[in-house]
Amino acid sequence: MTKALKINKSTEQGVIDLLKFLLENNKVKGVFTLKKINKNKAIAYSIITDPDELKDAVPFYPLMPVNGGKLLSRFTLKGSTKKPVIAVIKPCEIRGFVELIKREQGSLENLYIISSTCGGVYPVKMSVNGDLEKIISKYWDTVKKGEISPDFRSACKGCEEFIPYNADMTIDLLGKNDFDKQCIIYLNTKKGEELIKGMKGEFLEKELDNKKLDKIRDNRKIEKKKLFDELEKKMNGMDGLIEIFGKCIGCHGCSKVCPICYCKLCGFESFDFEYKPSNYETDFRKRGGIRVPPRTLFYHLGRLDHISISCVGCGSCEDVCPVDIPISIIFKKIGESVQKMFDYIPGKNIEEDIPLITFEEEEFAEVEE
């Protein structure tokens, strides 16, 4: 059984109270969370140090402006702050962060992590023009019932990993009928238990309702299959790929927001990647014409090669795509098939090596010819 803290307030208020308690008692120096930026109601990740500022915090807002894992990596890239910081992020953001830590792009030192069972998020574009604010009350109903809204990011619709790994505290949210009356915080680690000492509330021994969550997972599985089948129809060898990626404008936005794409100097954007006149001439001769800029498909295949092993399926890539290529579904589908082969769930276990930097002597004999 896991220890849990029950607070008789709405979940969002309960968590904000907890964060306030931690800040006021100097247990943490900062709170990394989603926050309303006053006037225009824009929402962004911020690190809050003043307890009064917490009134604008919206820790469970269904939005992922940038993958929080990527942001935490930038926050801890050159070392950790001396005083601890607590971060409230979504399950896939933790997984992204853990994958980055495995690549030495951050650390968990002096960092506490709170997460919740995640109902899914909306595309960023919806928050920009204010549409999201209008339907936010409807969203909470969807979460209560554990349903999938058609407006969600497509990656979220088919997400099965909505229970956080590696979080110090897990908030019960998804499929919880009374989350507007009661807040339950599960304390998964000793670190978390230590931190929360002195907080007002009722301590329980409790587990997440797995039956309920399994049912939600089954629904998501069905939805995922639908998305994958739809994609499968478009896949048709080289011609299919050209059709899917043909509209790519080469902005490389998908790699900019991807939590796993961490290189500061990307090979695909380097001087060496550019074609020389002789390259163009070869292609003129060979193909009788060429798409400009060239090598778009190479970029996407190359990214698949780099990312698929660790893709956490957060859907940020598709979110920023100006031409609506279903990148997140492609990456999720191929990522899952690759990860399954190595029996690897990215971001699940921080001690586990990335499959490509380790091996077993007897394996995969079927590919040797």
Partner 1 sequence: MKKDKEFMPKILAFLCNWCSYAGADLAGTSRIKYPPSILPIRVMCSSRVDPILIIEAYLSGFDGVLVAGCHPGDCHYQKGNYYTRRRFVMLKKIFEGLDLDFDRLRLSWVSAAEGQRFARVSTEFTEKIKEIGENSAKSKIFL
Q: What is the C-alpha to C-alpha distance for residues 57 and 274, in angstroms, rounded to an integer?
A: 45
Nearer to partner 1, 249 or 341 (CB): 341
**CB of 286: closest distance to partner 1 in angstroms?**
7
Number of other residues whose CB lies within 10 A of the CB of residue 103: 14
Nearer to partner 1, 47 or 290 (CB): 290
The 96-125 site mask, x for binding partner 1 (CB under 8 A), equals ------------------------------
How many positions of this chain bind partner 1 (CB under 8 A)? 45
Please identify which residue in 77, 136, 213, 304 interacts with partner 1, judged by CB under 8 A: 304
Contact between 309 and partner 1 (CB under 8 A)? yes
Which two structure tokens, joined as six digits, stand for 190? 């000793």
Binding span for partner 1 by CB under 8 A among 44-52, 150-158, 212-220, 333-341? 333-341
Asked if residues 111 and 84 have their Cβ atoms less than 8 Å apart, the reply is yes
Residue 279 zone, left/alpha/beta (φ > 0; ψ -120 to 50; rest): alpha
Q: What is the C-alpha to C-alpha distance for residues 264 and 178, in angstroms, rounded to an integer?
A: 45
Nearer to partner 1, 216 or 231 (CB): 231
Please identify which residue in 107, 250, 302, 352 interacts with partner 1, judged by CB under 8 A: 302
Q: What is the C-alpha to C-alpha distance for residues 264 and 248, in angstroms, rounded to an integer?
A: 22
Please identify which residue in 136, 266, 290, 345 interacts with partner 1, judged by CB under 8 A: 290
Which two structure tokens, joined as six digits, stand for 67? 């993958």
Please identify which residue in 274, 281, 305, 353 interacts with partner 1, judged by CB under 8 A: 305
Q: Which strand (E) or helix (H) includes residue 47?
A: strand 42-48
The 335-364 site mask, x for binding partner 1 (CB under 8 A), equals --xx--xx------------xxx-xxx-xx
**Which sign does the torsion angle of CA 206, 108, 345, 303 carry?**
positive
Contact between 25 and partner 1 (CB under 8 A)? no
134 exposed, middle or buried (CB, 10 Å; 0-12, 13-18, 19+)?
exposed
Please identify which residue in 240, 253, 266, 269 interacts with partner 1, judged by CB under 8 A: 240
Contact between 150 and partner 1 (CB under 8 A)? no
Please identify which residue in 42, 222, 301, 323 interacts with partner 1, judged by CB under 8 A: 301
Contact between 291 and partner 1 (CB under 8 A)? yes
What DSSP state is assigned to residue 349?
-
**CB of 62: closest distance to partner 1 in angstroms?**
30
**At which residue do the structure tokens 């907890």 appear?**
18
Please identify which residue in 47, 213, 266, 334 interacts with partner 1, judged by CB under 8 A: 334
Nearer to partner 1, 198 or 288 (CB): 288
Report how far Cα 1 is from the mean position of its chain's Cα atoms.
27
Asked if residues 153 and 319 have their Cβ atoms less than 8 Å apart, the reply is yes
Contact between 328 and partner 1 (CB under 8 A)? no
Q: What is the C-alpha to C-alpha distance for residues 225 and 324, in angstroms, rounded to an integer?
A: 20
Q: Which of residues 241-270 bind partner 1 (CB under 8 A)?
A: 241-242, 246, 267
What number of CA atoms fall less than 13 Å from residue 295's CA on the CB side? Answer: 16
Please identify which residue in 38, 104, 134, 237 interacts with partner 1, judged by CB under 8 A: 237
Nearer to partner 1, 141 or 305 (CB): 305
What is the pairing mode between strands 42-48 and 30-37?
antiparallel
Picking from 147, 137, 155, 278, the residue whose alpha carbon sits closest to that of residue 227 is 155
Please identify which residue in 203, 236, 249, 263 interacts with partner 1, judged by CB under 8 A: 236
Q: What is the C-alpha to C-alpha distance for residues 353 and 343, in angstroms, rounded to an integer?
A: 12
Q: What is the C-alpha to C-alpha distance for residues 175 and 81, in angstroms, rounded to an integer?
A: 36
**CB of 356: closest distance to partner 1 in angstroms?**
6
In the complex, the residues that contact partner 1 under the rule CB under 8 A are 235-242, 246, 267, 286-291, 294-298, 301-302, 304-305, 308-309, 330, 333-334, 337-338, 341-342, 355-357, 359-361, 363-364, 367-369
